[in-house]
Structure 1
Amino acid sequence: MWLRNPFSRLGIYNESVDLQMSTDWFNGDPQSENNAINTGFYFTRSNNKTISLFETWYGRKDNSSGKKEQDVLFDLMTAGMFGQLGVHPRFLDTVYFSGFCKDSTDIKAVITVHANCCRSINAKVGDLTAVLRDWKRV
């Protein structure tokens, strides 16, 4: 759910960043692949590196029984795929790009909220409805 314009917090003019992605837990270092990625929100610069990443990612996702797309990307990242392809990621702070795994501490700062940590569609709808209600009060 977009509560505010996310482009204000994305390094869209920094051409050295190929992929910007939300996290479940942000470790404080936007370049660290030790962040727990979350595919609830991502911004990608289209280039040969990211095209190769997405082709590999979706090829494996379609052939990975029992794994969500986020798990497949995490496996690729921990196996060194970003480095092999030369993809430069930037991981987004949960203060601004929040989710239900790690709530932001400041609703006034939240830009997007992803519900990937919710277990069912009903839980996602209920939790996101509550976020919208709280955001309207601010």
Structure 2
Amino acid sequence: MRRMRTLGLRNFVHLLPLTAFLIVLICFFRFNNLGQVINERKGGRKFSLSYQDPSEKQELIQVLRRATMPDRTVILTMVDESHASPGSMLEILLQSFKSGQGTKRFLNHLVIIAMDPQAFEYCKLLHPHCIHPSTFEPYFTIKRHSIITLEHNVLTWRRNNVLIEVLELGYNIIFTDADVLWLKSPLANFNPTYELSISCNFSSGGEREDSLREGGIFFMKANAIALEFLKHWKLSRILYPNPNAEESLCETIKQNVEITEAYGFRVHGVDANHFGGLCQLNKDMLEKVYTIHANCCDGLSSKVHDLRIVLDDWIHFNASEKMALRWPQKCTG
């Protein structure tokens, strides 16, 4: 009898890894099928974590087809009502494309994802490639239920879900934050053979070892490796929620070197001197940088104020008018 109990215990111990794997697998499928059990009613219409009908996904497909470059690359940005209104960040972003060196052509490839109906309506007045919020409704409406409480992390969480959707359709992505000015074409800085090309900057207000933040723009290649890496990141945040964790791609890669190597997820580090920000100032900035990110800046109104000055300085700089940098003024970190 004792021997039988010993054998039973040993068999149970051997089954523990398989049991743990099955639990993780069940959690993954439950998360990806939450739309079947969790619904929210808005205006008489139910929204779940999956497309309600083929027309919503078809809208995304049609917009991406119209906006794609020949190599199936699209430029994505995300805005809400605070970014898309008269005199707002969206107007400055679009103006930078028009005023940059060789960047106006990229407007044809820019897809703006609106996170609320107000942003979508204003976007349509300014740009031909706007995505209605119902296309990604689940990712935008679960904010109040999110396991992530930091506003920056919430935005990153929603963005990564959108990246997965677009990569699954086979489109390479250049993602740009709305508070980034495009002064020159950044494409030469991206390595299309790598899964990710990104510039990482140290966060402000702390030691260099604290955390790494994205430079406001990155390139991601549409292949199975990139897709599986994002899905792993997504699943790990469900299984091991940490509201205080830094959610940037740069910090995630830094903290998960073994995972990136296991997936074969290759990262091309872009020279941070070419992707500037209000934290990284130097007198030759307008000559060297391709984009400028409104980092070291907390308030949206402060970002709009200082980016307008940057854009105005850039226009005068192109007219061969030498000047001292007049910014930042309100963005002081």
| 1:108 matches 2:287 | yes
Preserved contact between residue 199 and residue 269 of structure 2 (Cα < 8 Å):
yes
Task: Compute the TM-score of the two structures, normalised by the length of structure 2.
Answer: 0.33
Q: Which has the higher contact order (CA 8 A, sep 6+)?
A: 1
1:93-129 CA-partner distances (Å, limit 9, x unpaired): 1221111232354312211112243212122212222
Deviation per residue, 1:3-47 (Å, 9 max, x gap)? 1111133233xx2x210112215xxxxxxxxx9441511101111
Q: 1:131 to 1:56 in 2, by over 3 A?
A: farther
- Establish whether residue 98 from structure 1 lines up as the match of residue 281 from structure 2: no
- Between the aligned partners of 2:236 and 2:277, the Cα distance in structure 1 is 25
Deviation by residue 1:44-83 (Cα, 9 ceiling, x = unmatched): 111112112222334456744244531x751443232322
Tell me the percent identity.
24
Whether 1:85 and 2:259 are equivalent positions in the alignment is: no
The aligned residue for residue 133 of structure 1 is 312
Quickly say closer, same or farther: Cα 1:53–1:115, change in 2 above 3 A: farther
Report whether the alignment pairs 1:44 with 2:220: yes
Aligned length: 125
Instruction: Give the Cα separation in 1 of the matches to 2:290 and 2:307.
Output: 13
Report the Cα distance in structure 2 between the residues aligned to 1:56 and 1:39, rounded to whole angstroms. 23
Pick from 298, 302, 307 the counterpart of residue 119 of structure 1: 298
Unaligned runs of 5+ in 2: 1-180, 203-210, 318-333
Please tell me whether the aligned partners of residues 195 and 266 of structure 2 are also in contact (alpha carbons under 8 angstroms). Answer: yes
Whole-angstrom distance in 1 between the partners of 2:229 and 2:223: 10
Which of 50, 55, 74 is matched with 2:231 structurally? 55
CA distance in 2, matches of 1:66, 1:125: 27
Q: Which amino acid aligns with 1:117?
A: C
* 8 Å contact from structure 1 (residues 61, 67) kept in 2: no
1:132 maps to a residue whose letter is L
TM-score of the two chains, using structure 1 as the length reference: 0.72
Structure number, greater radius of gyration: 2
Return the letter of the residue paired with 1:85. Y
Cα gap change, 1:39/1:52 in structure 2, threshold over 3 Å: closer, same or farther?
A: farther
| Aligned ranges 1:5-24 → 2 under 5 Å | 5-12=185-192, 15=193, 17-24=194-201
The one-letter code sitting in structure 1 at the alignment partner of 2:265 is V
* Higher normalized helix content (fraction of residues): 2
SS in structure 2 of the partner of residue 137 of structure 1:
helix
